[in-house]
Amino acid sequence: MTKKNPKPPEAPAPPEGLTREENKSVKERKRLRAAVVYEIIRHEGEAELARKFTALWWSALAAGISIGFSVLSQALLEARLHGLPGASVIADLGYCVGFLIVILARQQLFTENTLTAVLPIMVRKDWSGIWDVLRLWGIVLGGNLVGCFLFAAFLAYSGAFSQETQSAITEIGRHLMANTPSEMFVKGIMAGWLIAALVWMLPSAESTEIFIITLITYIIALGDFTHIIAGSVEAIYMWLVGEASLGQVAGGFFLPTLLGNVAGGTVLFAVVSYAQVREELEG
């Protein structure tokens, strides 16, 4: 005799003391399950993987320029607060500005795609889809870096800023380039994990997106964690003003930071996120 499938457990009955509107409020305030968050981000990833070259490129270029405002805002605060106790702690808030612009404007940032673009491939289990991810990464990273170069060139050559601000930008760049390649890599893992966590948190953020973006990116600045795109503005600037060689920028900053961000966002966070929802998705 064929066994009947057991009925799924019924949802608990709403308390009798609540009105219909109050019961509705309870349901609306329930946190999204991890599997739901995963599916939201996966669908976003599918959409990104399907976008045409030109759409991705211009969005990525805009993001590279926008992220430069993280460096500029931090430098402006450093210049204004110079000599005051705790000045650097306050100035680190400026680092959040570029990320707020990029994320809220829905521009393409490479480190977001270390999670978003990978989740669809994990569900499909179609390794040919890796090519789609590499295509997306290549376009977005290229566009981001061109935008970073344009912004760094503006900082270096425009003459639009005071000597105090220019000195602050240079000091920020020196602080970054003082890291060894191994430090760049390890700190890059931390930044990659935090950006992936930010992407994971946003579907549940509702009206608190600004607070969450500010909090996570402020931690990146406070911890001196290395971010491949924001850091590229600083590193390229240091090369343009003659404070770093192209080899130092490429081998000392770019490669180890890129690998660290991918390791933190894809190898660690994406894999762990999939592991926690795998049974629900396949059940």
Q: Determine the distance from the C-alpha atom of residue 283 to the mean position of all C-alpha atoms in its chain, rounded to a whole number.
A: 31
Residue 11: the pLDDT is 47
Q: Domain 32-282 adopts which CATH fold?
A: Glycerol uptake facilitator protein (1.20.1080)
Global pTM?
Answer: 0.85
Q: Which of 111, 94, 261 is nearest to 187 (CA)?
A: 261
What pLDDT was estimated at residue 30?
Answer: 61
Q: From CA 254, how far away is CA 232, in angstroms rounded?
A: 7
- Domain boundary assignment for the chain: 32-282
Mean pLDDT by groups of 10 residues along the chain of 283 residues: 47 56 54 76 84 94 97 96 88 96 94 82 72 91 98 96 96 97 97 92 86 96 96 98 96 97 86 71 62
Instruction: Report the distance separating Cα 127 and Cα 278, nearest Å.
Output: 17
> Distance (Å, rounded) from C-alpha 126 to C-alpha 223?
37
What is the model's pLDDT at position 20? 63
Burial group, residue 80, by CB count within 10 angstroms (0-12, 13-18, 19+): middle
Select from 206, 187, 208 the least CA-distant residue to 263: 187
